[in-house]
Amino acid sequence: MSAQDGVEARNARKVYGTGQEKVVALDNVSIVIKRGEFFTLLGPSGCGKTTLLRLIAGFETPTSGTILLDGTDITYDPPNKRPVNTVFQSYALFPHLTVAQNIGFGLEMRGHAKAEVDSTVEEMLALVRMESMADRKPTQLSGGQQQRVALARALAPQPKVLLLDEPLSALDLKLRKEMQSELKRLQLETGITFIFVTHDQEEALTMSDRIGVMKSGSLLQVGSPREIYTRPADRFVASFIGETNFLTGVLGKDAITLDAGGTLPLGASTQAKSGSKVTASIRPEQIRVIETDAPGSLPATVTESVYFGTDSHCHFALADGTEVVVRLQSPASGDVGLSRGQNVFLRFEPGALMVLEDQA
């Protein structure tokens, strides 16, 4: 495998409209997605993730920049000339064709022999476990079944890249979980590069090999789910992926002196200058509540406790009023035993406090 294998966007820029109505949907995004990877583009709506997907699919051409597939420039190739298939958010199944005809559509358009089309369709029906539905029309299927047919239809022509545009957003929670593992299984079985677009951070974390976090047309951070979660590049990534607490302070040597009092060690080195004012983040599950003072802990007052079933989210106020949320596993009684106004100490797990790199 050469270094150029996979999908690459180079300075891809997409501008809609002109003059006052000008909208920059994609702002010089460069990214390399490796072959065989499950890559997720994650971001809030309007961040440009779908635009990037449409540029790769060929539904739109960039205002400037290039799209490459295995090192070949495909920027201006029409969609029917690209070995790239899409699973649409609305599924876009052809209502006048049966399930089998839908799945065979791509191969038929490419002029494959009927026998070959039929055998591939059968294979695909088995792959998505829809053998018994071959002769139904899409409207006779449930949402989850339509989803499977859309997947089978996009996989049948054996594309180099499969694009998935929020395909799970229309399903209910239980079905969504099922389809998540189903998608992961299909990706491993076929070895096809999956580029998955979602605004659901949990979906991104559980399914992806790597995640690209986007905001306002720019790519903020690319990395494995672990990297993104434990070492968020900036405040936006930290708060968009999971919940987090922000604490301000002055940077010392491998430690931070918080505005709320106390000096705590940092989890990793930072590029920020010693002595500068910084913001650090810590995840709610990486804080312990203790009764008595201990080294590396901060005094806090309970302000609120919210029960979530498997765990409870307790809100605390630090000495300077900064709010900190701590996630506690619910005990058998369901009551974490903290009442409003109670004074406790918060101990941060060593190495959990991260300085965010995006501050001046």
Partner 1 sequence: MFNRSFSISRLPGFTTIAILVFVMLYLPIAMLVVFSFNSGTSVAIWEGFTLEWYPRAWANEQVKDATIRSLIIASTASVIATIVATMAALATTRRKQTRGQTFVYILINQPLMVPEIVTAVALLIFFASIKVATGYQGLGYLITAHAAFCIPFAYLPIRARLEGMDLTLETAAADLYATPWQTFRYVTLPLVMPGAIAGLMLAFVTSLDDVVITLFVKSAGQDTLPTYMLAQIRRAVTTEVNAISTLLLGLTVIMLTAFFLLTRKRN
Point out which residues bind partner 1 (CB under 8 A): 57-59, 78-80, 84-86, 88, 90, 92, 94-96, 105-106, 109-110, 139, 153-154, 157
Shortest distance in whole angstroms from residue 104 CB to partner 1 = 10
Decide if 3 contacts 70 (C-beta within 8 A).
Answer: no
DSSP 349: P
Rounded to whole angstroms, the Cα distance separating 330 from 171 reads: 29
Shortest distance in whole angstroms from residue 150 CB to partner 1 = 9
Shortest distance in whole angstroms from residue 236 CB to partner 1 = 31
Shortest distance in whole angstroms from residue 89 CB to partner 1 = 8
Nearer to partner 1, 193 or 245 (CB): 193
List the beta strands (DSSP E) in the chain.
Answer: 7-16, 23-33, 38-42, 64-69, 72-73, 84-87, 161-165, 193-198, 210-215, 218-223, 245-251, 255-258, 263-265, 277-282, 287-290, 297-307, 311-318, 323-329, 343-348, 354-355
Nearer to partner 1, 78 or 275 (CB): 78
Shortest distance in whole angstroms from residue 91 CB to partner 1 = 9
Shortest distance in whole angstroms from residue 109 CB to partner 1 = 4
Nearer to partner 1, 84 or 352 (CB): 84
Nearer to partner 1, 93 or 266 (CB): 93
DSSP 192: -
Nearer to partner 1, 59 or 345 (CB): 59
- Element holding 100 (H helix, E strand): helix 99-109
Decide if 237 contacts 228 (C-beta within 8 A).
Answer: yes
List the beta strands (DSSP E) in 3-148.
Answer: 7-16, 23-33, 38-42, 64-69, 72-73, 84-87
Nearer to partner 1, 55 or 354 (CB): 55
Rounded to whole angstroms, the Cα distance separating 236 from 268 reads: 19
Whose structure tokens read 């986007």? 214
Q: Mention every residue, 6+ apart, whose C-beta is less than 8 A from residue 111.
A: none
Nearer to partner 1, 130 or 314 (CB): 130
Shortest distance in whole angstroms from residue 196 CB to partner 1 = 16
Decide if 32 contacts 186 (C-beta within 8 A).
Answer: no
